[in-house]
């Protein structure tokens, strides 16, 4: 359907930018959902469902279609992910109720899950030889960095525009449409293999030799992801109810700090051995949690921000170490 003329030199940064846009979009609802709660007068239950719906869709797509691009190619999966994300963005623009938002969040999670493995592989495969090692860190940094910047920019839109929802999601609709065109002009980077339908059946297993290390790493992964999830999901409500702050910019900035710190530290700790980075990262995450708790209990916003940076740095370090 599309000519395949784009050089890898151009495709590499372009794919990274499109991939980051998925997570920019994932971070965008953080200040907006708190605003919608005030406008539509729904309880905290649907608010929590709206945030968790994204994670459910993401996990389902990762489990069911995580290896699909190995069989049908990177481009078809990336294009499908962008089409689903485009539909989700339109859903956010048109949503008349929280029910629509929850549906859009589920679709957004599925789209991001489809995109994650396909884009991560394509970015590395399109990277010039001297940037291969950097490409893995770039893909990982796009996740955390996109989440943080999405929350920050959306918070600014809430603060300084009269209809932030339309502004942000209309812009993201246009970005996803451009992403569709861009990816369509990239070259396929992997051959097709049979077994596409079988690959959709989730298979979960860990080699016996790695099970002890896997079990030891589970708490790190769970705690690591819960930390930014707390800020992206609940920080606007805590700022409004506990600190009497309901400005979009302060909510976006608070949600931005942790993911952005994680994106920076994932690059910094890419030069450290994985075990060392994980130990340092886990320690910093724990310290960050303690500082955030102190800040919330003492109504000390600066401590919450400091804790967000510490915990975010720990989160990035935990996932940024290099293999031996």
- Angle, helices 98-126 vs 44-65, to 10°: value is 30
* Distance, CA of 15 to CA of 122 (rounded, Å): 8
Angle between helices 98-126 and 29-40 (to 10 degrees): 170
Model confidence, pTM:
0.85
pLDDT tens per residue, the chain (324 residues)? 444 567 777 888 899 999 999 999 999 998 888 788 888 988 878 888 988 899 899 999 988 888 888 889 999 999 999 999 999 999 999 999 999 999 999 999 999 999 998 998 898 888 877 776 676 667 777 788 888 999 999 999 999 999 999 999 999 999 999 999 999 999 888 888 887 788 777 777 777 777 777 777 777 777 777 888 788 877 888 888 889 888 889 989 999 999 889 888 887 777 777 778 888 888 999 999 999 999 999 999 999 999 999 999 998 888 766 554
122 in Cβ contact with 136 (< 8 Å): no
Given its phi and psi angles, is residue 300 left (phi above 0), alpha (psi -120 to 50 degrees) or beta?
A: beta
CA-based nearest residue to 189, from 76, 65, 21, 83: 76
């Amino acid at each position: 359907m599309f000519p395949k003329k784009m050089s890898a030199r151009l495709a590499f940064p372009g794919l990274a930018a499109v991939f980051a846009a998925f997570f920019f979009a994932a971070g965008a609802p953080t200040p907006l959902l708190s605003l919608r709660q005030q406008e539509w007068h729904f309880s905290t239950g649907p608010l929590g469902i709206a945030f968790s719906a994204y994670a459910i869709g993401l996990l389902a797509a990762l489990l069911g279609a995580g290896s699909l691009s190995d069989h049908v190619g990177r481009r078809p999966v990336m294009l499908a992910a962008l089409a689903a994300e485009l539909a989700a963005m339109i859903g956010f623009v048109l949503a008349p109720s929280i029910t629509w938002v929850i549906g859009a969040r589920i679709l957004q999670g599925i789209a991001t899950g489809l995109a994650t493995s396909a884009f991560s592989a394509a970015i590395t495969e399109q990277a010039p030889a001297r940037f291969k090692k950097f490409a893995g860190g770039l893909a990982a940094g796009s996740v955390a960095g996109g989440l943080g910047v999405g929350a920050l920019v959306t918070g600014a839109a809430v603060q300084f525009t009269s209809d932030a929802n339309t502004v942000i999601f209309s812009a993201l609709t246009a970005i996803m449409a451009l992403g569709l065109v861009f990816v369509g002009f990239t070259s396929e980077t992997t051959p097709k293999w049979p077994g596409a339908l079988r690959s959709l059946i989730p298979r979960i297993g860990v080699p016996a030799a790695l099970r002890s290390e896997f079990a030891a790493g589970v708490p790190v992964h769970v705690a690591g992801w819960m930390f930014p999830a707390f800020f992206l999901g609940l920080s606007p409500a805590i700022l409004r109810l506990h600190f009497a702050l309901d400005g979009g910019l302060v909510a976006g900035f608070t949600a931005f700090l942790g993911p952005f710190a994680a994106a920076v530290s994932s690059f910094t700790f890419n030069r450290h051995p994985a075990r060392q980075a994980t130990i340092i990262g886990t320690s910093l995450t724990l310290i960050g949690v303690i500082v955030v708790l102190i800040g919330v209990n003492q109504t000390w916003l600066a401590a919450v921000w400091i804790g967000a940076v510490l915990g975010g740095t720990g989160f990035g370090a935990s996932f940024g170490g290099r293999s031996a």
